[in-house]
Amino acid sequence: MQLIDQHVKGIMEGCKQRARDAGLSFEDESLEYIVTNRDMIELSPKVMIPTLYDYWVHDVRVISGQGMYELYPSNPYETVINTRPPISYYNDNNPDWLNVMIFYHVLGHIDFFQNNLFFKHTWDFDFNGQALADKRLIAKYRSEKGRWVDYVIEFSRAIDNLVGYHDHVAGTLRSEGKRALGKLDYYFDIFLQNEKKVIQSEYLKEIDRYNKIDHNRLEVVGKDATSQENHENGAYAANAHDKNITHDTNHGAAVDLNHIYESNGSLSGTKNGNISKEDLFLIDVRIKYPEFDSFYSRYIEKKEKSRLDVVQYILKNSEFLKKDENRWMKSVIEIIRNTSLVFQPQIRTKIMNEGWASIWHEMLFMQDDRIKGHETDFAKVNAGVTSMPKVGLNPYALGMRLFYHIMEMENRDCYSFEYFNLKDKVKRDKFDKSKKDNPGKKGLEKIFQIRENLNDFTFINSFIDQEFMDKHNLFVSGKRLNRERMSWQYYVKSRKAEDYRDMIINTLYHPPVIYVDHKKTTQGPLYLVHKFEGKPLKRDYIENTMVGIEYLWGRSVRLETSEPVAASAETPHQRFINFWNQPKPPSPSAAQPDNKKEITWKRVLYVMENRKLIKRDI
């Protein structure tokens, strides 16, 4: 593996300039490496991160990859990883014209990494450098602890899809220094309504009192005030410096403000010591409800605790990991969790990411003069990458065509109410409100907005429509048994957009929603609850995964989930009757009836204790 030479680097820099002129946005620095087939095989198990920690599973996959390569020699044209700076790899035998096309594709990926909000937590993060530090730390622990390091890695990787990715991203999207729920919002939204359960008239009075509050109603008396005149007339102050007593004119009581002063002498939550309207109001709240602050602190603590994912909860609360001889395990678990968080957005944006890169490598390379003489070669390579299969899913093809479709629809103003109100298909096909002075601009702006704000689920769910289905002749295929030939046949099951959407969505990455039941966990065992969403957990993985969780938790583990109720078995007499009275096989061309029966689900409880798994009905 080596850096590309200056000639190829010059081609890359030229591609960057053309990509920026077209509207893409990315940082200047990037690293490009030339790799051999052996390098690609060795890097693939590490997700192309050369500095990723060592693990025996990676070695097994390298051996497997070598065997696969001998049987089916093939390699990707490029691979790019999201780090700072971004790193990309290229085969050592690519001609210049192919490198130009590949560079445009890579720049599309980099633009997506650095602008999509689901990658925000990686925008200022050098994962390659962090992975190197993590690799050295794990190597150090392995030299001291031996095989126990691999056990901890294995147990942690078994639950690295339960890392609370959405909460993590939501935390990065919040503005700095802004709390999720301030005291004022808590008072009106939670405290009065849920805790005190005040009547509506009382609630409206509180809102009215807040709206009418005036700074001049705050009477502040200085610590050094000794004259009777000050006490009679009051000492109104715009600032709260060196003041510690306030008289509330509504309630006639005094409140000590020392507890809300900061070390610099200014009121907590204020700027330059100026008391805000919210602070004045909360002073009265504390007089009326002395328990308000404790209720608010308890609420915030509870919310933060409930936001912990399974891995975080184990890290924070496991008595086993708190022992001095086991503290090193926390570092290993955190490495696995942080690594998973880095790769989560890539799994959730595969169709968008590949479609975005494909649409730009096609548009930019078609306008590049270096395509001359290689039009046929480009068409062959591009078709191999972006061809739409009749059965199966090609994320490059689907994503690229959907972006093109959105551009066309937006340019014609087909996402307007006027278009959706049309019921006539002919009128819809002829509908066009595009601006002649600047054609195509609206469509480009639309796909740039989508690139920034959506992931695969929202992308597919929002923009696959019947027009897209009809344009590309898409359908949902079914499989049935041809009894005459004793072979499987594929047939067109549906051409409806909603069925195609559901099919694609069912293929997307969607880990199970499993959370910790805090009330039942306080008794000792870790109690996990699977939020059932229509799909059961894979039974083959439950036992080994729970063994690992039990080890990390240090106590028994319980998992509450849903499983289908087994159908009642037929009696021997029924089987005999069915054997002699089999129906006549239907014609292969005949439509197959939908024999799906409604599945009945029941809640079950898996208990892992002393490495033995027991299942109970709930």
Q: Domain boundary residue among 242, 268, 288?
A: 288
Q: Are 451 and 525 part of one and the same domain?
A: no
Concatenated DSSP letters of 186-244: HIIIIIIIIIS---HHHHHHHHHHHHT--GGGEEEEETT---HHHHHH----SB-TTEE
Whether 365 and 395 share a structural domain:
no
User: Are 468 and 532 members of one domain?
Assistant: no
Q: Are residues 363 and 429 in the same domain?
A: no
Is 101 part of a structural domain of the chain? yes
Within 10 A of 110 (CB to CB), how many other CB atoms are there?
A: 22
The answer to whether residues 8 and 112 belong to one domain is: yes
Same domain for 402 and 370: no
Average pLDDT per consecutive 10 residues, the chain (618 residues; last block may be shorter): 92 95 94 91 92 95 92 86 93 89 96 96 91 96 96 97 90 62 86 88 89 60 37 36 37 42 43 68 87 83 74 94 96 96 96 97 93 92 92 93 96 91 90 74 94 96 95 93 90 94 94 92 89 93 96 96 75 46 51 65 95 94
Q: Are residues 370 and 393 in the same domain?
A: no
For every residue of 336-401, DSSP letters joined together read: HHHHHHHHHHHHHTHHHHHHHHHHHHHHHHHT-GGGTT-HHHHHHHHHHHH---SSS--HHHHHHH
Domain that holds residue 224: 197-288
Whether residue 277 is found in the same domain as residue 249: yes
Residue 137 forms part of a structural domain: no
**Do 420 and 519 belong together in one domain?**
no
Q: Do 534 and 554 fall into the same domain?
A: yes
**Residue 356, both tokens:** 């975005």
Nearest to 155 by CA among 392, 26, 330: 330
- The reported pLDDT for the residue numbered 230 is 39
Among the candidates 240, 261, 288, a domain finishes at: 288
Residue 227 covered by a domain = yes
Q: How far is CA 551 from the centre of its chain?
A: 28
User: How many domains would you assign to the chain?
Assistant: 4
Rounded CA-CA distance 425/429 in Å is 6
The one-letter amino acid code at 63 reads I
| 532 & 607 share domain | yes
